Amino acid sequence: MNTSSRPILRVGVVDDDAHHRRVLSDYLARFGHERGLELQVSTFEDGQALLNGFRPVYDILLLDIRMKSTDGLALARAVRRTDPDVVIIFITVAQQYAINGYEVAALGYLVKPFPYASLGHELGRALEVLERRDSAGVVLKDGQGLRRVPVRDIVYLESSGHRLQVHLTDGAITLPGSLKQMEPQLAPHGFFRSNSCYIVNLRHVVAVREQDSVMSTGQVLRISRPRKKEFMRALTEHVSGTLT
C-alpha cells in the first residue's frame, strides 16, 4: 500500500449490477473518509474489462462471483497469475458460492445485500494484511553502509562469486556475501532458494513453467529439479497464507 500525506488505497470493483457498483462506491468513499485514506476506485461491469491490460496495481479487489458474462472465481484465478498479493474479497448472493475462495487465497466474502458495516469490517481486515506486508523489511550492507529494504521491493537475489546481486523492483544492489548467509534472514519473509544461484521472493512469482519461475518483473529463473517439489509446496503455502 502506498503512502503519502494521506495513504492511498487502490481498489478495483467488478460487478455487473450498476446499482450495486454505485452502492459499493458510496461505501468505499465513506470508508476512506472515516479512515483518513485516499481511495482510488476503479469500477468494471465485467471481468474482461478488468483483465484487458491488467497490471498488478490494486491493493484490494472486490469481485462479484456470479455475473452474466463472468465467473468471478475464474476471474480471480486469472488475476492471481499476474498478481499473487492483491487482497481479494468476494461478493456473492449466497454463501455457498464462495466456498472455493481458498483456491485463490481470498480474504473473505460478503453476501448481498450487505450493510456498510460488513464491508467496513472486511476492508479493516484487508488494511491489517496490507500494513503487515508493507512493514516487513531486511537490513542489507552495501558499499554505502547499512540500509533497510522493504521485503516487497526485493524480487530475487543472485549469487555471483563472493558477491550478491539483490534485484529490486526498481534496480539492484550489490553487496558481499553468500546466499547461504542470507537464507535465514529471508526465509521468514516468504523467500525460497530455487537453485544454487537464486533466492526468489515468492510474492513476485507470477507463473511456473516447467523448470522456470516467471517473476513479476519479467525475469525467468531456473528451478533446480531436486528443489521443484519443495518450491511448489512453498509457493502454494505462501499464496494460501499471504492473507491470513
Residue pLDDT, tens place only, 58-106: 889 999 988 888 888 899 989 988 887 789 999 988 776 655 666 677 8
Q: Residue 91: helix, strand or coil by DSSP?
A: strand
pLDDT at 71: 84
Asked if 41 and 127 touch (Cβ cutoff 8 Å), the reply is no
- Tell whether the model's pLDDT for residue 2 goes beyond 50: no
Cβ burial of 145 (10 Å; 0-12, 13-18, 19+) is exposed
88: closest CA among 191, 14, 38? 14
Asked if 16 and 49 touch (Cβ cutoff 8 Å), the reply is no
pLDDT band, very low/low/confident/very high, at 149 (cuts 50, 70, 90) = confident
- The rounded mean pLDDT for the chain is 85
- Report the C-alpha gap between 210 and 101 in whole angstroms: 26
What is the radius of gyration, based on Cα positions, of the chain?
Answer: 19
- Report the C-alpha gap between 97 and 101 in whole angstroms: 9
- Report the C-alpha gap between 166 and 156 in whole angstroms: 6
